[in-house]
Amino acid sequence: MRVTEQTLEALSIGAAILGTGGGGDPLIGKLMAQQAIAEYGPVELVSLDEIDDTDVVFPVAMMGAPTVFLEKVPAGEEGYMAVQRMERHLGKKVTALCPIECGGMNSMIPFVVAARMGLPVVDGDGMGRAFPELQMETFHVLGVSGTPACIADEWGNVVLFETVDNYRLESFARACTVKMGGYSHLVDYPMTGTQVKGTAVRGTVSMAIRLGEALQEAHRSHVNPVEAVLAATRNTIYGHGIALFQGKVVDVSRRTSDGFAVGQARLQGFDEEEGKSMVIDFQNENLIAKVGDEVVASVPDLITLLDPDTGYAITNERLRYGQRVVVIGIPTPEIMRSEAALSVWGPKQFGYDIPFIPLEQAYPDFYRRVGVPLEKEKYLALMPPLER
C-alpha cells in the first residue's frame, strides 16, 4: 500500500482513535510526514508477511512532552540521525522501519524517516494502541532487548543506550530527553525480520488508516460516524468495537503525577443510559471505564471517547463539562492479552487492583451476535450459555 499525503489524513484520524485519549495529537506528526512525503515521495506500507527473515527493522518514534513539540516543532532529520547512528553501531543497514505505537502522534514518525530514506514501513507496531512507556511494547514482552537504542535531538546530538533491562532504558532515555529540550526522536528494539514477525501487533497501521477512511466516508455520505468507526473494526485482529456509553461530561479532574496527566472524567448518560453514569480513569491514556461500581472495560482493551456528531476522537486534554461523547471500547489484539503482556500493562501495572476482563467476556451477548476473531472464541466459551 502506497502511503500518500492523503493517506496520512486518514491515518491521523484513525491514530487519534487508537490513541485512547492520549498518545499526543497526531496533527504535527501528520504535517511532518506530509512535508517529508511531498519532498521525497510516497512510502510503501508492507505487511509483516512481506518482510524477509533477514530484514533489519528499526522501530522509530518520538518520546517526550506533546506540549513541547507543539511549540518546538522538530527539525525533521532527528529520526534519520538516530537511525544512522544505530546502523553504524550495529554495522548493519536498516531495510524497513516500523512504528513503536500506532496510536496518536507516533503513528506518523516512521513515515517522516521512511520518506527521507526511501524505506518501507512495516504494518504493525509494539502496542496496538498508545501507551506511555518504552517497556510497554510487545517487543519487550516477547523478549526482544530495547537496546541498543538511540535518541537524537534537532542538533544531531545522539545518545546511545545499552541498558541491562528495558525498564532502565525507559528511565535513562526519559532523563536525557528532558535535557534535549523536552522531547527526542528514538530508535529502540532493533530487530531482524524474524523477530518483528514474531512479536509485532499485526496490521495496526492499516487498521488506523481504515478507521480514518471509514470516518471520512461517513462524512461524505452522511451516515452515523460512530457506527462507521465501529463497523470498520469488524474482521480485524482487534475484533468488533462496541459502544459502551453515551452521555455528557459532567466533571473532569486532572493533576500531574510523575510526569503523567492523571485524572478522571465523569459522564452522565443519555437515552438508554439515562440515569446511569460512567467514570473514565486516565493516565495520559484512558485506562478504566466504570458504570456505577462495575468495571466494564479496562486497559489494555481500548477505551476512546468520540464526538457523537463527527466521530472524531476526543483527547483527554480537551475534555470538559458539557461535551457530548460516545464511549467506545475496542478489544485489544490477543498478543496484547497474554499473561506476560498483562504483567506489563494490565490494570495492576497502572495501580488498579482489579483483574483484566476482556470486552468479549464483559459483553458476551453482543459478541455472540457480532462474532469474534477465531483466537477470541475462548472468551465466549467462558460464558454461561445464552438465555432464551
Partner 1 sequence: MSYRLGIDVGGTNTDVVLLDSKNTVIAKAKTAVTADIVTGIRVGVGTVLDQSGVNAAEITHAMLGTTQVTNAIIERRELNEVAIVRLGAPATRAVKPLAGWPEDLRERYAKYSWIVGGGHEFDGREIALLDEDELHEIAESVKGRVQAVAITGVFSPVNTDHEERAARIFREVLGEDIPISLSYQLGSVGLLERENATVLNAAVSSVAKRATLSFQQALADLDVHAALYLAQNDGTLMSVEYALLYPILTIACGPTNSMRGAAYLTGLKNAIVVDVGGTSTDVGVLVNGFPRESFVAVDVGGVRTNFRMPDLYSIGLGGGSEVTESEDGVKVGPKSVGYRIVKEGRAFGGDTTTFTDVVVALSKAKVGTHEVRLPRELAERAYDVAIDKTVEAIDRMKTSSDAVPLILVGGGSVLLPSEFEGASEVHRPENYDVANAIGAAIAQVSGRVDRIFAMDQKSREDVLEEAKSIAIAEAIRAGAEASTIEVVEIEEVPIAYLPGNAVRIKVTVAGTLASYNQEEVGAHASH
List interacting residues with partner 1 (CB under 8 A): 22, 28, 31-32, 34-36, 63-68, 70-77, 112, 132, 154-155, 174, 178, 181-183, 248, 250-251, 254-256, 259-261, 268, 284, 317-318, 320-324
Taking the least distance from each CB to partner 1, the nearer of 282 and 379 is: 282
Distance CA 38, CA 189 (A): 29
**Minimum CB–partner distance for residue 132 and partner 1 (Å):** 8
Nearest C-alpha neighbor of 138 from the set 304, 344, 364:
344
Torsional sign, CA 168, 114, 285, 296: negative
**Minimum CB–partner distance for residue 173 and partner 1 (Å):** 12
Taking the least distance from each CB to partner 1, the nearer of 181 and 198 is: 181
Strand-by-strand arrangement of the 285-291 sheet:
294-298, 285-291, 277-283, 260-269, 242-257, 324-330, 302-306
Taking the least distance from each CB to partner 1, the nearer of 16 and 207 is: 16
**Minimum CB–partner distance for residue 213 and partner 1 (Å):** 20
**Minimum CB–partner distance for residue 314 and partner 1 (Å):** 11
Q: At what angle do helices 5-18 and 204-221 cross, to 10 degrees?
A: 100
Taking the least distance from each CB to partner 1, the nearer of 192 and 323 is: 323
Taking the least distance from each CB to partner 1, the nearer of 123 and 154 is: 154
Torsional sign, CA 351, 146, 129, 113: positive
Cell digits for 356? 483484566
H/E element, 366: helix 364-370
Taking the least distance from each CB to partner 1, the nearer of 65 and 383 is: 65
Taking the least distance from each CB to partner 1, the nearer of 275 and 322 is: 322
**Minimum CB–partner distance for residue 35 and partner 1 (Å):** 6
Distance CA 90, CA 142 (A): 21
**Minimum CB–partner distance for residue 10 and partner 1 (Å):** 16
**Minimum CB–partner distance for residue 31 and partner 1 (Å):** 4
Nearest C-alpha neighbor of 306 from the set 258, 222, 382, 243:
243
Ramachandran angles phi, psi of 253, nearest 5°? -120, 145
